[in-house]
Amino acid sequence: MLGPLCVGCAVFALRDHDPDDGAPDLWKILQPAVCRARRDRRRRIAIDDSKKLKTAETPGVHPLRYLERGVLATLGASDRWPGTDERFLRLVGAEVPTAPWYDSTLDLPLAQGADEIRIGASRLKRALDRSGVQCALLRCEAIDVERFNDQVERTGSKASVNFCACMRLLDAVWRQWPGDHPRVIVDRQGGRTHYLDVLGLLFQGARIRILAESERLSRYRLQRDGAFLTVSFVRNAEAGHLPVALASMTAKYVRELFMLRLNRFFGAHLAELKPTAGYVQDARRYLGEIAPVIERLGLPRSHLIRSC
């Protein structure tokens, strides 16, 4: 109900992988540095579905600790060090809206010391280099409420807004690597199994061939101006593909940073205000409490509250 819709993308380039062998298991390839579990005796970096890595508020453990470590260490392994959320958002391509509740900056990292991130990044960099793997892109599209509401009105559904954001990221990957035939895994969109028609609408002029359509997997090969791209829509893709899990973590971390800014803004006007994650039930409580602030400052509710 509050805050942006965030869609993430992670691209890995592998030097010695034959695409005919199927999708590589990057958890296995990079296992000296990464794992799935939050707690690991070897202190490897956790990369998994973002829902599993954000924790509840507990004494001594920041809820964003594992999300942040994975995302920032991945950037650091490519010598990209944010320092602030403003620089981080710029690095991943997430546009900051002009709404006043986003007009602040946070120092990063939030949940641990910078040295811990640097140690993790150095370890990940060694594993990447030894394996001939590169994290070539980490990106997130953040669609804030005003633009979200406008797109829902034009397309008719939240699902369409989400899918179009995925396809813009897909197109950006294809345009960046036109000669490399990218293979892209996308988490299945709302239970849909047939994507040919919608791909045809969004990639007009491209030739599209169905490679598979089943309950488990929908796969298509696109050709445009001599360049190829294969896209697969897979149920629970975060569980089977490290890049999808990392994309999920990036999107979640971006959203959390925006919500921290929002909570800081309204908390400055109401000292006893309990922060919100922005999801429907608690957002209703939050909106009731900040109603006097909205009224006093003349804030546009259509820029703050999602239409559905």
pLDDT of residue 60: 74
| Residue listed under structure tokens 């620089």 | 87
Q: Could you read off the pLDDT of 238-270 as tens digits, one per residue?
A: 999 999 999 999 999 999 999 999 999 999 999
Q: What pLDDT shows up at residue 19? A: 87
Q: How confident is the model at residue 34 (pLDDT cuts 50, 70, 90)?
A: very high
Per-residue pLDDT for 287 more than 80? yes
pLDDT at residue 308 is higher than 80: no
Residue 252 dihedral angles phi and psi, to the nearest 5°: -65, -45
Share of the chain above pLDDT 70, in %: 99
Mean pLDDT value of segment 146-171: 93
- Which token pair is 201? 């609408």
Which two three-digit tokens encode residue 180? 């490399």
Give the other-Cβ count within 10 Å of 234's Cβ. Answer: 19
The per-residue pLDDT for range 184-241, each reduced to its tens digit, is 999 998 878 999 999 999 999 999 999 999 999 999 999 999 999 999 999 999 999 9
Whether residue 247 contacts residue 241, with contact meaning beta carbons closer than 8 Å, is answered with no
Average pLDDT over residues 269-276: 96
pLDDT tens, 76-115? 999 999 999 999 999 999 999 999 999 999 999 999 999 9
Residue 55: pLDDT band with limits 50, 70, 90: confident
CA distances (Å), origin 255, targets 66, 141, 249: 15, 10, 10
CB atoms within 10 A of CB 115: 9
What's the pTM value of the predicted model, to 2 decimals?
0.96
Go through the chain and tell me how many residues it has.
308
